[in-house]
């Protein structure tokens, strides 16, 4: 009688997956994609479509919009269309090394400054939340994409 147990285990795994792959309440598209793609890898617009279906069913042009912003798949969206907001970079604000005195940096004081070059965070904080039905990223993200005019094709 192993089969029922296997089937049961499979059902549990599937429901855990479903839970994992369901956007949190008010979770934005970017945070959701980041979470889903880092756990399951990229598979076209699989997760963007799922987000749309579950959260923003009226965003019928979502995939086209993502593609126009450089996101021809979920991971490209994360690479090309958004980046972690600057306040999350480490260090979060440009910090003046203790070695630099009040008359500004000069000479030796600048050595080692590159160690303080801010970097994007390894782990994104929990989503800051967006309006229900929105496909905009939350305040944890900066949008790299700006509308642009393509000759013969109009605004993208």
**Site residues for Zn ion per CB under 5 A:** 28, 31, 42, 73, 75, 127, 138
Nearer to Zn ion (CB atom), residue 72 or residue 96: 72
Q: How far apart (Å, rounded) are the C-alpha atoms in residues 19 and 44?
A: 21
Q: How far is the CB of 30 from Zn ion (least distance, A)?
A: 6
Q: How far is the CB of 72 from Zn ion (least distance, A)?
A: 7
- Alpha carbon separation from 85 to 57, 78, 127 (Å, rounded): 27, 12, 12
Q: How far is the CB of 86 from Zn ion (least distance, A)?
A: 15
CA 99 to the chain's CA centroid: 36
The answer to whether 135 and 52 have CB atoms below 8 angstroms apart is yes
Nearer to Zn ion (CB atom), residue 36 or residue 127: 127
Nearer to Zn ion (CB atom), residue 73 or residue 88: 73
- Residue 86 is given by DSSP the state G
Nearer to Zn ion (CB atom), residue 88 or residue 138: 138
Q: How far is the CB of 107 from Zn ion (least distance, A)?
A: 43
Instruction: Count CA within 13 A, CB hemisphere, residue 99.
Output: 10
């Amino acid at each position: 009688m192993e089969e029922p147990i296997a089937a049961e285990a499979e059902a549990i795994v599937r429901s855990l997956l479903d839970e994992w792959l369901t956007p949190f309440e008010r979770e934005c598209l970017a945070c959701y994609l980041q979470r889903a793609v880092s756990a399951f890898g990229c598979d076209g617009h699989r997760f963007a479509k799922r987000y749309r279906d579950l959260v923003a069913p009226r965003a019928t042009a979502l995939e086209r919009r993502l593609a126009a912003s450089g996101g021809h798949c979920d991971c490209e969206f994360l690479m090309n269309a958004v980046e972690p907001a600057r306040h999350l970079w480490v260090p979060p604000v440009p910090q003046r090394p203790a070695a630099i005195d009040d008359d500004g940096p000069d000479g030796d004081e600048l050595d080692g400054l590159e160690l303080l070059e801010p970097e994007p965070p390894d782990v994104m904080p929990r989503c800051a939340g967006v309006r229900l039905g929105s496909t905009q990223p939350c305040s944890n993200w900066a949008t790299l994409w700006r509308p642009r005019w393509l000759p013969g094709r109009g605004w993208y």
